[in-house]
Structure 1
Amino acid sequence: MSDILSLAYPWVKGFHIISVISWMAALFYLPRLMVHHTERVGLSGETHELFAMMEYKLAKVIMSPAMMATWIFGLLLVMTPGIVVWSDVWPWLKAAGVIAMTVFHVWLMRRMRGFQVGENSLTGKQYRMMNEVPTLLMLLIVFSVTVKF
Structure 2
Amino acid sequence: MTGFLGGAYLWVKAAHIIFVIFWMAGLFLFPRYLVHHQAALAQPEEAAAWAQREAKLRAVILTPSVIAVWAIGIVLAVHWGLFEGADGLGWLHAKLLLVVLLTGFHGWAVGYSKKLARGAGHLQDRTLRMLNELPALAVVLIVILAVVKPF
**TM-score, length basis structure 2:** 0.88
Question: How many angstroms does 1:86 deviate by?
Answer: 4.3
Cα distance change, pair 88–4 in 1 and its aligned pair in 2 (3 A): closer
Distance in 2, matches of 1:43 and 1:118, equals 9
Unaligned 5+ runs, structure 2: none
Which position in structure 2 is the counterpart of 1:36? 36
Which position in structure 2 is the counterpart of 1:50? 49
83-92 vs 111-120, which deviates more? 83-92
Cα distance change, pair 88–16 in 1 and its aligned pair in 2 (3 A): closer
Question: How many angstroms does 1:38 deviate by?
Answer: 2.0
Which position in structure 2 is the counterpart of 1:145? 146
Matched pairs, number: 148
Which position in structure 1 is the counterpart of 2:105? 104
Which position in structure 2 is the counterpart of 1:89? 90
RMSD of aligned residue pairs (Cα, Å): 2.1
Unaligned 5+ runs, structure 1: none
Question: How many angstroms does 1:7 deviate by?
Answer: 2.4
Question: How many angstroms does 1:43 deviate by?
Answer: 4.9
Question: How many angstroms does 1:6 deviate by?
Answer: 1.9
Which position in structure 2 is the counterpart of 1:21? 21
Asked whether the equivalents of residues 38 and 123 of structure 1 are also in contact (C-alpha less than 8 Å), the reply is: no
Q: Which amino acid aligns with 1:122?
A: L
Q: Which amino acid aligns with 2:12?
A: V
**TM-score, length basis structure 1:** 0.89
Q: Does 1:118 align with 2:84?
A: no
Among all aligned residue pairs of Structure 1 and Structure 2, give the percentage whose two residues are the same amino acid: 37
Asked whether the equivalents of residues 80 and 86 of structure 2 are also in contact (C-alpha less than 8 Å), the reply is: no
Distance in 1, matches of 2:73 and 2:42, equals 38
Q: Which amino acid aligns with 2:139?
A: M
Which position in structure 1 is the counterpart of 2:73? 74
Cα distance change, pair 43–143 in 1 and its aligned pair in 2 (3 A): same
Asked whether the equivalents of residues 35 and 125 of structure 1 are also in contact (C-alpha less than 8 Å), the reply is: no
Which position in structure 2 is the counterpart of 1:11? 11
